[in-house]
Amino acid sequence: MVTIKVARLIDFVADVFEHASSSPEEARRIATYLTTANLTGHDSHGVIRVPVYIRWQKMGSIVPNQTAEVVVDTPSLVVVDGKFGYGQTVTPQAVKIGIARCKASGLAALALRNSGHLGRVGDWAEMAAAEGLVSIHFVTAAGSLLVAPYGGVEKRFSTAPYCVGIPRHGQDPIVLDFATSIVAEGKVLVASRGGKKLPKGALIDADGTLSEDPAVLYGPYEAEGTRDHTKGTGAIRAFGEHKGSGLAFICELLGGALTGTGATSANRRFANGMLAIYIDPKVVDPADFFDGEIARYTDFIRTTKPVSGVDQVLVPGDTERKMRAERTANGVPLPDDTWAAIVNTAREVGVSEASIQRATS
């Protein structure tokens, strides 16, 4: 395991993307969002994605330095085409428009189509919460067949994330952010590169056997080699049996079909689609009952008597806040295999050995 200070990790990852045709501003933005995912404990959406992003950029699946295009513009609904730009560039552009529409009318919807990988969806919920807005997000990853529906063994869904953000007065927002699969694909990637092992039965093979072996999803792979989910014989399982599978189906239809990105299918260009709904609590609740009721109910949940072995019952965001504080102070831990893959990618795009050495010094 190698542990890297936050500022140095951002500088290094920014250097990688600047060497791969991104502007300095875009490169630093991507690096900051990826590192923030690691800070919150979402390593699956963190810097482990660097080799994947660079591979996609070389393939032409992601286009650097894009500006999102508004294709439908009404007072309450906006449709934005990301033109396959980096999600860390086009998604905040789109979200800012959705936030502005909501502030003007109290309620707004944003349909984002054809975005590059938009990273941790919680970032965009936090962006809305910082402006005092509730947000609800349905996301698909078209072209990324990974998950078997309940009762099946073949890949049919993406990991189809769902997210809700709720602002708090003077406190961090409440953010619920999860894949509708037992694990995000990035967690399989982390496990394959020497990181945290997968939960029991997270994967299912073609014969119906449950597994925790990443090779079920990727097929045989070298330690520092690429991971290709089309090569494996199995799939990730949807969480919660028929309930998680049903929610994944809805995310595909709303985040994919409705936005114009398309629900996921094989042999097509990767793109994220996101349907986001924004609500201004000040318009719904001019008496400001909402925030006080959140406080009361959050305390009610946290004071639940815990089961044996659990210190305290948590609400969404508690684990992330603790992890962010710890890693901000101590640095971001990365498995050796993960760091080696990132360094190999850095060398491929021309990052200097001095820059690599600075990251870990």
3-state class (DSSP) for residue 331: coil
Mean pLDDT of 13-22: 98
pLDDT band at residue 224, thresholds of 50, 70 and 90? confident
CA dihedral 114, 35, 336, 2 (to 10 degrees): 180
3-state class (DSSP) for residue 109: strand
Q: Are 282 and 132 in contact (CB under 8 A)?
A: yes
CA 172 to CA 165: how far, in whole Å? 10
Q: What is the pLDDT of residue 186?
A: 87
Question: Residues 6 or more apart from 49 whose CB is under 8 A from it?
Answer: 34, 117, 119, 186
Q: What is the pLDDT of residue 222?
A: 87
Predicted TM-score (pTM) above 0.85: yes
Q: What is the per-residue pLDDT across 103-127, written as a single tens digit (0 to 9) for each?
A: 999 999 999 999 999 999 999 999 9
Residue from 275, 78, 250 nearest 158 by CA: 250
CA 172 to CA 182: how far, in whole Å? 26
Q: What is the per-residue pLDDT across 137-154, written as a single tens digit (0 to 9) for each?
A: 999 999 999 999 999 999
3-state class (DSSP) for residue 266: coil
Mean pLDDT of 25-44: 97
Q: Are 285 and 132 in contact (CB under 8 A)?
A: no
pLDDT of 223 over the 90 cut = no
Q: Are 302 and 311 in contact (CB under 8 A)?
A: no
Mean pLDDT of 291-314: 96
Question: Which class for 59: exposed (0-12), middle (13-18), buried (19 or more C-beta within 10 A)?
Answer: exposed
For 264, the token pair is: 């996921």
**Number of neighbouring beta carbons within 10 Å of residue 122:** 27
Q: What is the per-residue pLDDT across 55-91, written as a single tens digit (0 to 9) for each?
A: 999 999 999 999 999 999 999 999 999 999 999 999 9
Q: What is the pLDDT of residue 181?
A: 96
Q: Left (φ > 0), alpha (ψ -120 to 50) or beta: where does 335 sit?
A: beta
Q: Compute the mean pLDDT over every residue in the chain, rounded to the nearest whole number.
A: 96
Q: Are 10 and 28 in contact (CB under 8 A)?
A: yes
Domains of the chain: 2-61+331-360 (1.10.1530.10), 69-284 (3.30.1370.60)
Q: Are 337 and 224 in contact (CB under 8 A)?
A: yes
The C-alpha angle with vertex 55 and arms to 49 and 58, in degrees rounded to 5, equals 140
Distances 202 to 48, 156, 237 between C-alpha atoms, Å: 20, 16, 6
pLDDT of 225 over the 90 cut = no
- pLDDT above 90 covers a percentage of the chain that reads 96
Q: For the range 314-322, what are the long-range contacts, defined as Cβ-Cβ under 8 Å and sequence gap of 24 or more?
A: 315/174, 316/174, 316/175, 316/176, 316/177, 317/172, 317/173, 317/174, 317/175, 317/176, 319/41, 320/40, 320/41, 320/42, 320/122, 320/175, 321/172
Q: What is the pLDDT of residue 226?
A: 87
pLDDT band at residue 255, thresholds of 50, 70 and 90? very high
Residue-wise DSSP of 136-171: EEEEEEET---EEPTT--S--B----EEEEEEETTE
Radius of gyration of the chain from its Cα atoms, rounded to whole angstroms: 20
Q: Are 270 and 114 in contact (CB under 8 A)?
A: no
